Amino acid sequence: MEDSELHRILEAKMKKMTTTTTEASKLAGTTMVKLTEENFQAYSNASKPLLVDFWAEWCGPCKVMEPVIERLSRKYADQITFGKVNVDEEMNLSSRFQVFSIPTFMLFRGGNPIDAVIGAVGEAALEQFLKRALNGSGAYR
């Protein structure tokens, strides 16, 4: 197989994965908040903890984690606010919190980061991360 053929196949698969994930998100009834530099402080200082998903459109592992975050956002909507930061659009936010790898999931309380998970992880592991933070045992880096 030639490199051009492999490249074409990979592009087609990524496009299909992106389209499928986007369509699923629209149907999911998500409770995700798009975070920007303008609204970040208000959400991070709110009474509920804030889980931030630092992601990018081109990031394959970010796309894999999207349905996991969607499910957890519905399950924990009454206890945690779930937000997304597109690192390409909000470079100041990702820089401020030293996000060098994506996906990065960072939990905030009182405007401060209290814990983080870097990379695509299983749903059970991410849920345990949330439960630890809700129980007050999160410790940022």
| Burial class, 98, CB count within 10 angstroms (exposed 0-12 / middle 13-18 / buried 19+) | exposed
Cα(88)–Cα(94) distance, integer angstroms: 9
Sign, CA torsion 29/35/39/45: positive
- What are the residues facing 82 on neighbouring strands? 32, 51
Cα(55)–Cα(25) distance, integer angstroms: 15
- Active site members: 59, 62
